[in-house]
Structure 1
């Protein structure tokens, strides 16, 4: 998949001699089941036409530019989003620089200078798509502004459990510790990636060595607690149990949560390596224990429960 950076305005005529494109537009944070429905239809249509399948997405997240600071943390950083889009069969991803100037474009300017030059056959958007200054443009507006130069397909909401699948709903699931439910809405387990760094080595002294993972990007952090996880080390996946939290049992409890994963049947030194973590299910909230012995007994129980969860979720 090719990734192309774009900024306003596009160069007129740049795509004139290239094959027509079928484009899906959206932020697509999470690339969840609802996003996959929009993208899948665009890819399918492009195959029917023998056209290029393309995505237009935005960086930074539009809501971050609008001052909604909690959108600094994402479900899918740019590199992860590109990986998922490629797996869905997308040929080209257009990454648009979303800044304050771009935010002030009128719907007409967006269509004339960001869409028309791309030599589009069809544009796919979700039913709640908004564009232009203060979200003035709607799917109906897009149909009007297309003026027959490209077709517009509006995709109805994708529902699961009687509710619309959305990035907001997934964020809430994670913040409530509902890792399995978040995975069901994403269509895969929620994943984060980071570097294994040195910690206090306390886990090794109590019989449960852990990998301390420093996240590479500002991910949406799940609720503090213990999770059944799968961890990719090199080319191999290992089951494990992971604590997200501040380690309240020990003196000098932390202010900011850390990620500590104990991998099953694993003994290698992986300091400095990047690993990928997939949250499979939630086991329990983090809590303070009366003694290290009580904590060890609980970790042993957590590990057994994690193994059971992972065996049921192959």
Structure 2
């Protein structure tokens, strides 16, 4: 075995277009290890401070998804102001060549180097005599190009179904459960609360049907799961927003796991998978109206998860 096949991109969300690039790279050079190069933080957030897109995945999840998609190795490049000044030639010499590539596979819209001066043609020219270059068109879903910005737009509109179509899986929000105001428990709807960081994407404010999963390898009692046993996914009614009925200010993802009031998830890392939208966020005039609506939301969640393709059997 000589050399590697290298795939380069930001890969936020690791959607079907990203996975297709990895698949083609592996199929084209099956005897070479597949190395994926990605960047952290998002280049746009460095080049335009405060102007970067909201992220669909954190770095750990991105790396895990890339490995699931076939990467033998993931190289994370720290994207800094100094790194952004590299010329296309310096980028090739400092980033690509140390990986001993026989082929580099990228999307046809790939740009690299200072002020995005390098494109697919420039990469092929710089690689001539050193490595082959393959450029791939964007994958389309229902005649729509898959791209991370499309997923973000769907989430901003609260259309988590469409976001799931573009991602090839339900949109997942991860975090460590924090103590909230404990109003949910007082109202009979205890929730697992995750703050929404300013630089991460979350669906538009409203109520959704989905699932909650522990990420610490333990069961509902906090006991370690046997090796090879996956954590259960619990059906949940999920609220995204700032609790306007109580004049809340912090935006949170609050998950009420159906039929479970015995879960202790404080300080536990969890994943919240969004399947469908139930309604938008509403400010209620009083507690009784809120409880009545929450009962209706739970009933709607049960119906959605019974019929939705995202549902588990």
What is the TM-score with the length of structure 2 in the denominator? 0.89
Please, which runs of 5 or more residues in structure 2 have no aligned partner?
A: 219-230
SS of corresponding position for 1:307: helix
> 1: distance between equivalents of 2:250 and 2:183?
18
Match of 1:93 among 74, 82, 103: 74
Map 1:194-205 onto structure 2 (within 5 A).
Answer: 194-205=175-186
> 1: distance between equivalents of 2:196 and 2:28?
37
CA offsets 1:280-309 (integer angstroms, 9 cap, x no match): 111111011122111111111111111222
CA offsets 1:228-260 (integer angstroms, 9 cap, x no match): 12000332210000111111122xx12231221
SS of corresponding position for 2:153: helix
Match of 2:241 among 242, 245, 262: 245
Contact kept? 1:194, 1:216, Cα under 8 Å? no
Q: Does 1:265 align with 2:248?
A: no
Please, which runs of 5 or more residues in structure 1 have no aligned partner?
A: 1-17
Contact kept? 1:127, 1:157, Cα under 8 Å? yes
Who is 2:207 aligned against?
226
Q: In the TM superposition, what is the alpha-carbon distance from 1:265 to its structure 2 partner?
A: 2.3
Who is 1:22 aligned against?
5
> 2: distance between equivalents of 1:208 and 1:112?
57
Q: In the TM superposition, what is the alpha-carbon distance from 1:112 to its structure 2 partner?
A: 2.4
> 1: distance between equivalents of 2:232 and 2:285?
37
Match of 1:33 among 13, 16, 27: 16
> 1: distance between equivalents of 2:188 and 2:40?
44
What is the TM-score with the length of structure 1 in the denominator? 0.89
Who is 1:133 aligned against?
114
What is the count of residue pairs matched by the alignment? 293
Match of 2:39 among 44, 58, 72: 58
Contact kept? 1:283, 1:302, Cα under 8 Å? yes
> 2: distance between equivalents of 1:52 and 1:140?
24
